[in-house]
Amino acid sequence: MNASANSLYFRCAGGGRPGARFDLSGPRLYTAGTLLTGVGTEAIRPGGVLVRGTSIIAAGAIPALLATDHSRSAELVDLGAGATIMPGLVDSHVHLGLDGGPRPAERMQGESEAEQVVLMLRNAVSLLAAGVTTARDLGAKSFLDITVRDAVSRGDAPGPRLVVAGRPLTPKGGHCWFMGGECESPQDLREMIHQHHEMGTDLIKVMSTGGFITSGSAPWSANFSAGELAMVVKEASSLGMRVAAHAHGREGISRAVTAGVATLEHCSFTGRDGMVGSDFDPALADKIAAAEIYVCPTTNIHSLLPERAEGVARVIAELHQRGVRIIAGTDAGVDNCAHGEYQIGLEALAKAGLPASEVLAAATARAARALGVDDRTGSITPGRDADLIAVDGDPLADISALRRLILVVARGAEHVRVARSAWPGRPRVTY
């Protein structure tokens, strides 16, 4: 989907050698015709970012950057007058252990833990190649998402920064039961949350309704009582963890909102007819907005299916108009939803009526806030991790420019840099 396929290369932070993992050579100054920092809506033209090690040390207009001491020793990487530098993308909903093919759940159930880790590392690379520098895994088996998160964090494997939920809490035989999070009683829920905390997950995922990918599970039917969901949120937050609720049907959405979850996944208002959006409730949408709960509508999976695309676009438009805070996420890994196609979801958000600036916020700074990692990523700010991308074109004018990736930097490590000769040339800008 992007030009990076031929030119992907890794500079994987020292290749795993002890003590050398994050010694990422000298400073680099990336310059382009446009810089979108993700702070405010103003574009800086032309602009640049100075990176040293894993961090951003300066960003802004070119003359000011050239005046800094670090810029004198920096490698200059000029991306051209037609290029835009912006924060790395955040995918708020992925499953690294699902392969995005026709029967991903079957494969997950049939694979050993070692095989799963291989798949998860492959999918992590696909995310990076699409410009995703932070991803939230909302359902894996055997806590393997923790293993992969930590491997990436140490610099032992390439991948986006991961925020992981472990096993989704689900009723016996419920949606994604095969990930190992079945709970039959409030006591089970409590024990499962404590186990997650001890294992080291970042958050708790709870299946507030059934889902589409598990046979015998109905997306419109609510799973846990309002009291159980409230207990899940209380218990998780006492351990410093947020809760993400998978919720398709109105009743399950309503209970999760009352319980005070941090994010609603899908939030598709699927009715008993199985149609996305057929049970939309404006008063409940207003309640979501007032409670400042983030909604991740996982537009990729829905927009790929003709029978769901129109319904999900209507729901997103309504939610947005009512002030609900939308964040971008793909559900990558589920049936026929690949990890390298993040941009499809952004185009679906734009098609649903979100202005380009809103789409970019949903894909960067706002998503980082929803995931609790905005102190490290989501904007191009000195002191934050060097997570940035560059595209050929201006995504504010044309969101499809995000398909033309020419640079991906994650925590200072370059994973994609397309040689200027490999993309349509623009006159070199002189600063």
Find the shortest distance in angstroms from Cβ 245 to Zn ion.
11
Among candidate residues 111, 209, 202, the one with its CA nearest the CA of residue 169: 209
Q: Which stretch binds Zn ion (CB under 5 A): 41-49, 283-291, 327-335, 364-372?
A: 327-335
147: Cβ contacts below 8 Å, ≥ 6 apart: 117
Minimum CB–partner distance for residue 415 and Zn ion (Å):
25
The smaller minimum CB distance to Zn ion, of residues 86 and 176, is found at 176
The distance from CA 149 to its chain's CA centroid, rounded to whole angstroms, is 14
Strand ranges inside 65-112, DSSP E: 75-78, 83-87, 89-94
Q: 264, 294 in Cβ contact below 8 A?
A: yes
Q: In terms of CB distance, is 251 or 331 closer to Zn ion? A: 331
For residue 46, whether the previous peptide bond is cis, meaning omega lies within 30 degrees of 0, is: yes
Instruction: Rank residues 91 and 331 by Cβ distance to Zn ion and give the closer one.
Output: 331
Piece of the chain touching Zn ion by CB under 5 A; list 83-91, 123-131, 329-337, 366-374: 329-337
Question: Does 335 engage in binding with Zn ion (CB under 5 A)?
Answer: no
In the complex, which residue's CB is closest to Zn ion? Answer: 331
Residue 351 contacts residue 320 (beta carbons within 8 Å):
no
- What DSSP string describes 298-312? -HHHHHTSHHHHHHH
Q: How far apart are CA 272 and CA 2, in angstroms?
A: 39
The stretch near Zn ion (CB under 5 A) out of 66-74, 79-87, 155-163, 331-339 is 331-339
Closer of 121 and 332 to Zn ion (Cβ): 332
Nearest-approach distance from CB 93 to Zn ion, in angstroms? 6
> Based on CB atoms, which residue is closest to Zn ion, 35 or 183?
183
Q: Are 208 and 220 in contact (CB under 8 A)?
A: no
Under the binding rule (CB under 5 A), the answer on residue 331 touching Zn ion is yes
Candidate ranges 75-83, 278-286, 326-334, 423-431; the one touching Zn ion (CB under 5 A): 326-334
In the complex with Zn ion, the residue whose CB is nearer, 266 or 320, is: 266
Query: Contacts with Zn ion: how many residues (CB under 5 A)?
Result: 1
Please, which of residues 340-359 interact with Zn ion by CB under 5 A?
none
Asked if residue 123 lies in contact with residue 96, where contact means CB atoms within 8 angstroms, the answer is yes
CB 383 to Zn ion: min, Å: 33
Where helices occur in 200-305 by DSSP H, the ranges are: 226-238, 250-259, 282-290, 299-303
* Structure tokens, 174: 């419920």
Nearer to Zn ion, 235 or 331 (CB): 331
Of 93, 89, 94, the closest CA to residue 131 belongs to 89
Answer for the pair 205, 246: CB distance below 8 angstroms, yes or no.
yes
Closer CB to Zn ion, residue 331 or residue 394?
331
Give least dist CB 206 to Zn ion, A. 12
- For residue 257, the minimal CB distance to Zn ion (Å) is 19
Shortest Å distance, C-beta 301 to Zn ion = 8
Q: For strands 132-137 and 89-94, give the pairing.
A: parallel
Interaction site with Zn ion (CB under 5 A): 331
